[in-house]
Amino acid sequence: MIEINKLYNCEWQDLILSIPDNSIDLVLTDPPYQSLRKWEELKMNNRMGLGQKGTKTHNPNKFFDTIYNSELPNLLRQIYRVLKPERHAYIMCDFETLFLLHRSIVDERIFPPVGYGGKMLACKPLIWDKIRPGMGYTYRATYEIILMLWKGKKRQLNDYGIQDILRFKRIPPTKSIVPTQKPVELFEVLVKQSTQENELVLDSFMGSGTTAIASIKNNRNWIGSEKSESNFKKALKRIKDETGMKDLFGV
Query: Does residue 82 surpass a pLDDT of 70?
Result: yes
Over 70: is that where the pLDDT of 63 sits? Answer: no
- Model confidence at 3: pLDDT above 70: yes
Phi, psi at 35, each rounded to 5°: -60, -25
Has residue 199 been placed in a domain?
yes
Specify if 208 maps to a domain.
yes
In a domain, 133, yes or no: yes
Q: Give the closest residue to 207 by CA, choosing from 53, 74, 84, 36.
A: 36
Within 108-228, residue ranges assigned H as helices are 184-194, 210-217
Domain tally, the chain: 1
pTM exceeds 0.85: yes
Whether the CB-CB separation of 130 and 169 falls below 8 Å is answered with yes
Residue 222 confidence (pLDDT) above 70: yes
pLDDT at 136: 67
Residue bearing the bigger pLDDT, 126 or 41? 126
pLDDT at 64 exceeding the cut of 90: no
How far apart CA 5 and CA 247 sit, in angstroms, is 9
- What confidence tens digit (pLDDT) does each residue in 31-52 have? 988 876 655 555 555 555 555 5
Range of the domain at 77: 6-250
Question: What pLDDT does residue 213 have?
Answer: 97
Render 194-209 in DSSP notation, one character per residue.
H--TT-EEEESS-TTT
| pLDDT at res. 114 | 85
- Reduce the secondary structure of 33-99 to three states and give it as a string: EHHHHHHHHCCCHHHHCCCCCCCCCCCHHHCCCCECHHHHHHHHHHHHHHEEEEEEEEEEECHHHHH
pLDDT of 109 higher than 80: yes
Which are the contacts of 54, defined by CB distance < 8 A and separation ≥ 6?
A: 43
What's the DSSP call for residue 188? H
Residue 220 domain flag: yes
Alpha carbon distance 77, 134 (integer Å): 33
What pLDDT, in 10s, does the model give residues 127-180? 999 998 877 677 888 999 999 999 998 899 999 999 999 999 999 888 999 888
Closest CA to 67 of 48, 103, 92: 92
In the prediction, which pLDDT does 51 show?
A: 53
pLDDT value at position 173?
83
**Is 162 in a helix, a strand, or coil?**
coil
Residue 114: Cβ within 10 Å count: 17
Domain presence at residue 1 = no
Residue 55 lies in a domain: yes
> Tell me, what CATH number does 173's domain have?
3.40.50.150
What pLDDT was estimated at residue 155? Answer: 92
Residue 251 CB contacts under 8 Å (≥ 6 apart), including other chains: none
